[in-house]
Amino acid sequence: MGDVLGDELTSVSCASTGQSTTFENMFHHQSTTLEPMSFHYRFGRGDRVQIISGKFKGNTGTVDANVFQRSVDFPKDHLPCHYVLLDNHLVITINVNQVEPL
């Protein structure tokens, strides 16, 4: 029974949006903008970046992690983001489109 039950739980579909997610991504929230669940992040842990728009424009920092969640400038949407440790020691969640390499 464990094998059958396990096979049934590896995929979840949402009939209203046509979206699906896998067991590995089950803890990520679905995007309200219907973005695909797979996304290639330009930056990874340790990369130095500059914030180019939003509340923290002009700040610089280091990427700590890539996440799929709400950000400081887009609090209602779950989007591809980075946790960035700013040089002033503040940690923010920033949308991937709001950073550029240093």
The full DSSP string for 4-54 is HHHHHTTEEEETTTTEEEEGGGTTSPPPTT---S----S--TT-EEEE-SS
Domains of the chain listed by start with CATH number: 2-28+43-101 (2.30.30.30)
Higher pLDDT, 62 or 17: 62
Higher pLDDT, 32 or 22: 32
Q: Please give the pLDDT value at position 39.
A: 72
* Distance between CA atoms of residues 52 and 35, nearest Å: 22
Q: Please give the pLDDT value at position 36.
A: 52
Single pTM value for the model: 0.63
CB-based contact 79:54 (threshold 8 Å) = no
Q: What is the mean pLDDT of the chain?
A: 77
Of 10-19, 56-65, 68-77, the least confident: 10-19
